Each structure stands twice: as structure tokens, then as C-alpha cells.
Amino acid sequence: MSNLIQHGRRRLVLALPLMAFGLVVAPVQAKVDVYQSSRTLMGTRVDLTLQSLDTAALPYAAEMAFAEMERLANMMSRYRSTSVLNAINLSAGLQPVPVSPELLQVLLMARRAGQSSGGDFDATVGSLRNWNFDPSHPSIPTARQIAEQLNLVDQKKGLLIDERAGTAYLTKRGMRLDLGGIAKLPILQAGMTQLQGLGVVNAMINGGGDVLVMGQLNGRAWRIGLRDPRQPGKLLGAVSLNEGFVAASGDYERFVMHQGKRMHHILDPRTGYPTQGPHGVALISDQLEAINGLGAAIMVAGADVGRARVASIPGLDALIVDADSSLWLSPGMASRLGRG
């Protein structure tokens, strides 16, 4: 599907393809009171779609939302040499690092995600630093490198958070945090909070496999398509949402080929290699805590564990495409897709 994002108030067909598991916003005919803008953040394209009778205020609101998301993304990026996250990594085994309230909350989310998943989610997979899934500069670590660095992957014991002092500390030299699996949704939510504070009531923020919406588009609930990871050119269906999060994880968003095998970016913290379980997971909830980090944890744990975890969380809807390409829908997701 081609990218048809345009800015301003011109009439256009709205087609917003997303990466990862394949969320797409169903095509609609945009009206003159719809404002769209996009920017590259967190290594992916982030799209805003806003609608209001006060169209003159929307460009400023979008700019403020992007500014806040960019501020947080810069703070939490392990690829930015001046980021606070990089300061934590560089200070591993030496000293605690003061962190902002926003980063502190994301680190606490990472800790809770690790606890609730029994270690299937672990932000210290960043210690496996020889993986690079950029197709232009791919890097596959040796078995020896993985074995050595795997000893540094231990969020439970290795990440110390002092809430009172507002500091974070990695206990061993060489340990590294990677918040890619836990920071994006809070960053998108911060952008949405900016929009709300400026009076915007109808908005969608679409960031590379994760979507956050509020209100409506053209008087109807937002329609978000779920692309089939078995056939990325096709949709499994579309869901309607007025408020909440749709998060996706998949084994084909970022990958490199090595010795005839596709090596993808979601790493198993127990083995140091890409996960061997589900091909894709899509989750829907109106609660950030219920959904954040869960997709990556299910990719690690496998479909059977994933189904049990979804069933244990009230209000969470999910679909899982397993390694054998079988599709599982929670009752709520089946109802959303008209398959109940």
C-alpha cells in the first residue's frame, strides 16, 4: 500500500500504513477540517490526524504534541549519545544516574512488565549489543559474543530504581537498557495529553505499529485495520475505537537474512537470539499498563502462555498468529472483528 500522507487541509484519501504487525487506518475521504502531519521519531514515522471545527488551532496543537514526543524520545533513546538513557548505560557498574519523572515512570513500567511476565520482558536485552537489524548495516553476533553478553541480561537483579532519590542504576559494567519495547506508548500518550490540553478532542497518533486514539473521525469511531502477518498485503479485518491503544508486535518489522534464516529484532532474554514463537500479536486496551510490554513478552513466551495472560487481564482484546500460522482471537477481539 503506498504512502499517501499529505499535510494541510486538502482533500485526500487517508491511508496510513503502519509497520510491525500491520496496523492500518482504513481509507476514508478526509474533510476540510482534518489536519494531518507526520515526523520521524523513535526510528519510525509518527503520523497525527486531528479533526476540529477550529481548524486554525490544529497546526499549533500538532507542533506542540510533536515537540513533547520528540523531547521524550531524545531522552529515552539508546542511539542518542546525549540521552539520559545512554548516561545510565555508560554509568553501568559505576554510579546511579538522576532521571526525570517521565523516564522514571517508564523504567518502573519496564520493571512491572518484567515481573508480571516472569522475565519474558527484559529491558536489559540492550546488553546484546552486537545485533544490528538495519539492512544497510546488518550485524549478527557470534555465538561466543551472545554467550558473554547474555550474562548481562538480568533486569530483575541488574536494574536498581530508587524512586525517592529519582535515580536508576545498572549494577554491572557492560549492561545496557533498550526501552524500545516499553517507551513508545508512553511517548505517544504524552503527545495525546498535549493535544487534550490544547482542546483537541478528535485525534489519532499512529507510530509504527502502535496507535492511540480519542474521539471520532468524520463523526464515526476511528477504524483501524489489522494486517495479516501471514499475508502482509491483506487485512484480517478492522476494529472501531473511540478511545484507547492498539499495540502490535511482529517478527518481520525489522529483520536481516543470515544463512537463509530471517533474524528479527525481538530478542529472547533467555537465549540472546530472536524469538521462535508467534509471528505477530495485536492488543487493544484503554489502559496503558495492561498493554505496555505485553506484546514483546508474548512473542518470547509463546502463544499458549500468551492466551492465558490475555484471559487474565480484564478488558484486554488480542489476536495471536502462532509460529504455525494459526490464528487465535480472544472473545473480545473476535467480536470487534465480527467473528464472534
d(CA 310, CA 44): 27
Which residues, in sequence order, are CB contacts of 327 under 8 Å at separation 6+? 236, 319, 320, 321
Mapped onto helix, strand or coil, the DSSP state of residue 58 is helix
Torsions phi, psi of 76, nearest 5?
Answer: -105, 10
Residue type, 247: A
Q: According to the CATH classification, is domain 76-170 in 1.10.150.20?
A: no
**Sign of torsion over alpha carbons 18, 103, 86, 122:** negative
Looking at domain 13-53+200-336, which CATH architecture does it have?
Roll (3.10)
| pLDDT reported for residue 2 | 28
> CB-based burial of residue 5 (10 Å sphere; 0-12 exposed, 13-18 middle, 19+ buried)?
middle
The C-alpha cell at 136 is: 544497510
Q: Which of 196, 213, 195 lies closest to 204 in space, CA to CA? A: 213
d(CA 99, CA 101): 7
d(CA 161, CA 95): 12
> CB-based burial of residue 37 (10 Å sphere; 0-12 exposed, 13-18 middle, 19+ buried)?
buried
Instruction: Break the chain into its structural domains and give their ranges.
Output: 13-53+200-336, 76-170
Helical segments of the chain, H only: 58-76, 84-90, 101-116, 143-150, 155-158, 184-197, 288-291, 294-301, 303-311, 331-336
Residues of the chain with pLDDT under 50: 1-29
d(CA 43, CA 73): 10
Which residues, in sequence order, are CB contacts of 234 under 8 Å at separation 6+? 227, 228
Q: What angle do CA 246, 47, 264 make, to 5 degrees?
A: 60
d(CA 138, CA 184): 23
> What is the pTM assigned to this prediction?
0.89
| pLDDT reported for residue 149 | 97
Contact 179, 123 (CB under 8 A): yes
| pLDDT reported for residue 31 | 59
